[in-house]
Amino acid sequence: MALIVQKYGGTSVGNIERIKSVAQRVARFKAQGHQIVVVVSAMSGETDRLIHLAKQIQAHPDPREFDVMVSTGEQVSIALLSMALIDLGLKARSYTGAQVRILTDNAHNKARILNIDETNMRNDLQAGYVVVVAGFQGVDEKGNITTLGRGGSDTTGVALAAALNADECQIYTDVDGVYTTDPRIVPEARRLKTITFEEMLEMASLGSKVLQIRSVGFAGKYKVKLRVLSSFEEAGEGTLITFEEDEKMEQAIISGIAFNRDEAKITILDVPDRPGIAYQILGPIAEANIDVDMIVQNVGHDGMTDFSFTVHRSDFAKAMGILKKQVAPHIGAREVTGDDKITKVSAVGVGMRSHAGIASKMFRTLAEEGINIQMISTSEIKISVVIDEKYMELAVRVLHKAFELDHQV
């Protein structure tokens, strides 16, 4: 008997038929004698619908009220799924995040989980219930409803698995695993049987959209056994996320080509080249809760330098505003320019640690297609480039081919 946390995403509970089919899958696991905690997202499209409603009243909705509203999508799903389970003759009980008491900080719209009270869940599991928990939400110390950011139900699933010390956390979605790249762009893309946590972190943060990045970090930290599978298939082993040190097999050099369309680049021209300048530029950006990704500072010339960095496209206008109004006049920079038509493309693989020449192969492949590289960043297991968004699909296709990702077994 195992304790399994299963998380079902929006498309997996997208309509009544799908909810019934999820209930049947849960019932099959229950019949095998397992204890099951189910985490569900809102029905597909529902969160977007709610956000659209809010924006018709306030262009930038009040963060607290926004959370009160968008958290309702998941509340509908947990009740419907519990009814479907009860209808199959199972014992089931639903909980909102606040009812479990998933305690978070008070950063509305992107709150972090601080603590999970397991008491209710443990008691219910002992008594033979399937526990159904609303993803994406929690409650702060003062009782305010909070949400964890788009895709946050993955994080709820992993966090519950960690708190309950579950044997496995299964993330059911509309794809049957993690692929070498997006099959909509490269039809030859293959499902990976395993991928390491480190690679998955890079793939997720680079926009591979299979799992919310924070959930992968969480799983790595608490050693949660994580598997991504399709809820549209009867059987299938999906992709298991492993730890590199457990990996006995020969590693592929590159595991995948990831990309992120929603990037924007900001450059501050002619900044005085002196200590503290990076802090003066990026401090106010961090204070505004804007995540910065790639950062490049040029070699100084005549006491001046240029400074560029990338942000998520949705933060672009806000970041430009801060730099133009608060930062540039203050530090005496000449100009702030921006480009929100860029994308980041990356080659990811732990095998890179032991192989030279990956970067030059990547740059040569892009050069042969006439694709200009605007920024480069590297880590031990990835190489990322920023390019014009109009070349993104081409870049992904040629890199996937160059690294022979369609060939491996």
Binding residues for ligand ASP, rule: CB under 6 A, are: 9-10, 41-42, 47, 73, 135-136, 150-154
CA angle 27, 30, 33 (to 5 degrees): 155
Tokens for 115?
Answer: 């603590």
CB of 173 to ligand ASP, least distance (A): 10
Which one of Mg ion, ligand ASP, none interacts with residue 170, CB within 5 to 8 A by kind?
Answer: none
Element (H, E) at 308: strand 304-312
> What are the residues whose beta carbons fall under 8 Å from the beta carbon of 344, sequence distance 6 or more?
206, 207, 259, 260, 263, 293, 294, 310, 384, 385, 386, 387
Tokens for 397?
Answer: 């296709």
Question: Interface with Mg ion includes 151 (CB under 5 A)?
Answer: yes
Stretch that binds Mg ion, among 3-11, 93-101, 136-144, 340-348 (CB under 5 A): 3-11
Residue 73 vs 207, nearer CB to ligand ASP = 73
180 DSSP 8-state letter: S
CB of 289 to ligand ASP, least distance (A): 18
CB of 155 to ligand ASP, least distance (A): 8
The dihedral through the CA atoms of 358, 369, 262, 328 has a sign that is: positive
Stretch that binds Mg ion, among 8-16, 59-67, 109-117, 365-373 (CB under 5 A): 8-16
Residue 206 vs 395, nearer CB to Mg ion = 206
Which one of ligand ASP, Mg ion, none interacts with residue 73, CB within 5 to 8 A by kind?
Answer: ligand ASP
CB of 54 to ligand ASP, least distance (A): 14
CA angle 7, 9, 11 (to 5 degrees): 145
Render 230-299 in DSSP notation, one character per residue: ETTSSS---EEEE-GGG--SPPPS--EEEEEEEEEEEEEEEEE--TTHHHHHHHHHHHTT--EEEEEEPP
Residue 65 vs 273, nearer CB to ligand ASP = 65
The dihedral through the CA atoms of 362, 228, 312, 222 has a sign that is: negative
Bridge partners (DSSP) listed for residue 175: none
Residue 39 vs 405, nearer CB to ligand ASP = 39
Sites for Mg ion among residues 9-48 (CB under 5 A) = 9
Which one of ligand ASP, Mg ion, none interacts with residue 47, CB within 5 to 8 A by kind?
Answer: ligand ASP
Residue 146, amino acid: T
Distance from C-alpha of 97 to C-alpha of 347, rounded to nearest angstrom: 37
CB of 213 to ligand ASP, least distance (A): 12
Distance from C-alpha of 212 to C-alpha of 146, rounded to nearest angstrom: 17
CB of 45 to Mg ion, least distance (A): 12
Residue 9 vs 349, nearer CB to Mg ion = 9
Question: Interface with Mg ion includes 349 (CB under 5 A)?
Answer: no
Residue 39 vs 399, nearer CB to ligand ASP = 39
CB of 215 to ligand ASP, least distance (A): 9
Contacts with Mg ion, residue ranges (CB under 5 A)? 9, 151
